[in-house]
Amino acid sequence: MRKTLLLLVLITQISFVTAQSLVITGDTMFVGDPNTEIAHHLDVKNISSNSLTIKCQKTNLTLPLDAESYYCFAGNCYSASSISPSSSADLQAGKEFSYDSADLDAHSGYYNAFGVSGIAKVKYCFYDVNNPSDETCVTITYETSVTSIDDHLSIVKLGDFYPNPASEVVNFTFNGNSATLKLIDILGNNVKEILLSQEGIQELDLSDMNKGIYFGNLIVNGEVVSIKKLIVK
């Protein structure tokens, strides 16, 4: 009986992990002047074998007084007062909505503090209309302060991996004082973790990694500030 229950628990856990058909990449932490609007973009990739109909739901977790967040997705833009999900867009298997590729359905997020210093957190969830539980969410953090933009140590960034796809070695640029880079596979397993303490071009050994899709999570003070996709061939 115990073996049967254990097997059922394992099957449930595996089903939960593999249910995620969408992966989201892009920077998730931004530091700026409170009088200047912050614009950013998230790439949405369908890693399943089926075509999906995608919607986006924005939720303001924390907003300073008078600050606003709004976004565009699936060919339309949504005001700060909008609380309904976005319109839908079809995403073919293995394809991606990307702003850099000039996709009309790509995601763009905007934050305007209207002169107010503070920290805001906004969550974006992307999900399959035909299976709403199949969703992937990311939380964007905005910090607006006149002094913070003068402190380069508070601006931590992870550059894109190159070459990508890569085999033995991959490079990337790191800007910041101290952070942790975790490579996560598509099942959510942490396969490699390195401490970054020096700015500039970094080299990462991939010789011990299997072929597949991975996501580099840059973590500062326990919070993911950037996510970049890496393909190991």
Per-residue pLDDT tens digits for 65-113:
889 999 999 999 999 999 999 999 999 999 999 998 889 999 999 999 9
Mean pLDDT (the chain, rounded): 85
pLDDT of residue 226: 84
C-alpha span between 21 and 142 (Å, rounded): 27
CATH 2.60.40.3080 correct for 156-233: yes
Is the separation of the CB atoms in 130 and 86 below 8 Å?
Answer: no
Residue 108, token pair as written in the block:
């763009």
Residue 120, token pair as written in the block:
């805001």
Asked if pLDDT for residue 10 goes beyond 60, the answer is: no
Same fold, 20-149 and 156-233: yes
C-alpha span between 173 and 32 (Å, rounded): 21
- Tell me the range of 10-19, 35-44, 138-147, 194-203 where mean pLDDT is highest: 35-44
Q: Hey, how many other C-beta atoms are within 10 angstroms of the C-beta on 8?
A: 10
Domain locations along the chain: 20-149, 156-233
CATH code, 20-149: 2.60.40.10
Instruction: Give residue 36's identity as a one-letter amino acid code.
Output: T
What pTM was estimated for this model as a whole?
A: 0.69
Which of these, 31, 226, 220, 223, lies nearest to 113 by C-alpha position?
31
pLDDT of residue 113: 93
Asked if pLDDT for residue 215 goes beyond 70, the answer is: yes
- Residue 148's pLDDT band, with cuts at 50, 70 and 90, is very low
